[in-house]
Amino acid sequence: MKSMKVGLLGLGVVGGGTWNVLRRNAQEITRRAGRQIEVVCVAVRDVAKARARIGEDVCITDDPYEIVNDPNIDIVVELIGGITTAKALVMLAIENGKHVVTANKALLATHGTEIFEAASAKGVMVAFEGAVAGGIPIIKAIREGLTANRIEWVAGIINGTTNYILTEMRSRGLSFEQALAQAQHLGYAEADPTADVQGIDAAQKLTLLASMAFGIPVQLSRAYVEGITELNAVDIAQAEQLGYRIKLLGITRRRAEGIELRVHPTLVPANSILANVEDAMNAVLVSGDAVGQTLYYGKGAGEEPTASAVVADLVDVTRLHTADPGHRVPHLAFQPESVVDIPVLPIDEVRCAYYLRLSVNDQPGVLAEIAKELSNAGISIGSMVQQPPDQGEASLTFLTHQALEKNINQAMLAIEALPFMRSKITRLRVEEF
């Protein structure tokens, strides 16, 4: 049977890994796909560098449009990253009737709706397993394996860089800056790690997961995003003492009022599964009404783990290439006409437990006044610890029961106005799945 002809845009970390895996496992992949998957041309910026890496027997160009416009190519694999050029190339590939495989979460979280609509209209597939949690087949699990379920929530560690930083800060007492420098040195963090540490990368991935879990449009702009740059080592240590660990979680939950869609540092019980996902590993918990909780764990980034996902997409596309487009698995798990724009709740309407750390003057009546303000806002205290006072200053940490975020905000405003407060309150969210 004629081979599937692939044009590879990018031969960096993921593109290089994809090339290696396709070569090394060619026989096994052909047995699974039913025909050979053949990379016929590669686009890069630096042709000489690519030539030195992959040799002479494949075309290499510095013009990615050559690939996208090549009538012999069946599948375009976009692994150059970024948004502007990647979008233009993907849209043109679709327009030219080619299937697309991409690991570009930034592109899909921003322009997914337009891209998937164009692909559906043209009857081509856009596959993106590598875009979320690298090598973990979470897209396939939600889109296909859990399709019987009404999914209730998805929560996960979906950024390896920040998980590595938090692990180092907790286990070795490193500062944020030291842990980040180490992550960069080890190649986990990007040269510009802004999207990682500010939670944007996780929010892009979460947005795609939410869309597939609940059948809602891809809407990154409605996600609440808080990264780990403001996280204090004191709170990591304090959480540990209270039996918790702090993880950067992406959480999306269906509630009667709408969908929660949020990324932020979160206290989780130290003996829970997510608390024990360490270093640069990723893990995603999915709760469905029929199956209960399921867990997906593995490497969320890197050359061959991400290539594993990209090649799985190539096999899927190859298998379904000749299927009637109307009978293929929908891009975002739900049939496009069944996607419903359920409102995404603002962070004020989110409900969870809270960790509040306060620095106060060590004097009589302080606790009573704080408890009164919490009570006025309808917030119930779960527990409280006080660190031994130091030079007249006491550190109080409260764990609340579940509360609405807007009520916590109201209490914080009132408490911060009290005369014995030494600084602003540190507030973190707490989840027990």
Binding segment for ligand HSE (CB under 6 A), chosen from 77-85, 138-146, 155-163, 248-256, is 155-163
Closest residue to bound ligand NDP by CB:
12
User: If binding is defined by CB under 6 A, does position 159 make contact with ligand HSE?
Assistant: yes
Closest CB to ligand NDP among 47 and 347?
Answer: 47
User: If binding is defined by CB under 6 A, does position 80 make contact with ligand NDP?
Assistant: yes
Which of 30, 104, 238, 282 touches ligand NDP by CB under 6 A? Answer: 104
> At closest approach, how far in Å is the CB of 86 from ligand NDP?
7
Picked from ligand NDP, ligand HSE, none, the partner binding residue 215 (CB below 5 to 8 A depending on kind) is: none
User: If binding is defined by CB under 6 A, does position 100 make contact with ligand NDP?
Assistant: no
User: If binding is defined by CB under 6 A, does position 196 make contact with ligand HSE?
Assistant: yes
Picked from ligand NDP, ligand HSE, none, the partner binding residue 225 (CB below 5 to 8 A depending on kind) is: none
* 265 vs 245: CA distance, rounded Å: 10
Closest CB to ligand NDP among 15 and 288?
Answer: 15
Segment 110 to 139, residues that bind ligand HSE, using CB under 6 A: 134
Active site residue 205: yes
Picked from ligand HSE, ligand NDP, none, the partner binding residue 296 (CB below 5 to 8 A depending on kind) is: none
Which of 161, 266, 306, 318 touches ligand NDP by CB under 6 A? Answer: 306
User: 288: closest CA among 214, 223, 221, 344?
Assistant: 214
Binding segment for ligand HSE (CB under 6 A), chosen from 113-121, 153-161, 170-178, 237-245, is 153-161
Which of 3, 85, 178, 198 touches ligand NDP by CB under 6 A? Answer: 85
User: If binding is defined by CB under 6 A, does position 202 make contact with ligand NDP?
Assistant: no
Closest CB to ligand NDP among 23 and 45?
Answer: 45
Picked from ligand HSE, ligand NDP, none, the partner binding residue 161 (CB below 5 to 8 A depending on kind) is: ligand HSE
Burial label for 369, CB within 10 Å (0-12, 13-18, 19+), is middle
> At closest approach, how far in Å is the CB of 306 from ligand NDP?
4
Q: Long-range pairs for 85-94 at CB < 8 Å and ≥24 separation?
A: 86/9, 87/111, 87/115, 89/9, 89/64, 89/65, 90/115, 90/126, 91/115, 91/118, 92/65, 92/68, 93/68, 94/118, 94/119, 94/122, 94/124, 94/126
User: If binding is defined by CB under 6 A, does position 300 make contact with ligand HSE?
Assistant: yes
User: If binding is defined by CB under 6 A, does position 225 make contact with ligand NDP?
Assistant: no
Picked from ligand NDP, ligand HSE, none, the partner binding residue 156 (CB below 5 to 8 A depending on kind) is: none
User: If binding is defined by CB under 6 A, does position 81 make contact with ligand NDP?
Assistant: yes
105, 140, 205, 247: which one is catalytic?
Answer: 205
> At closest approach, how far in Å is the CB of 341 from ligand HSE?
27
Picked from ligand HSE, ligand NDP, none, the partner binding residue 196 (CB below 5 to 8 A depending on kind) is: ligand HSE
> At closest approach, how far in Å is the CB of 184 from ligand NDP?
13
Residue numbers of the site for ligand NDP (CB under 6 A)? 10-15, 43-46, 49, 64, 79-81, 85, 103-105, 130, 134, 301-302, 306
Residues serving a catalytic function are 205
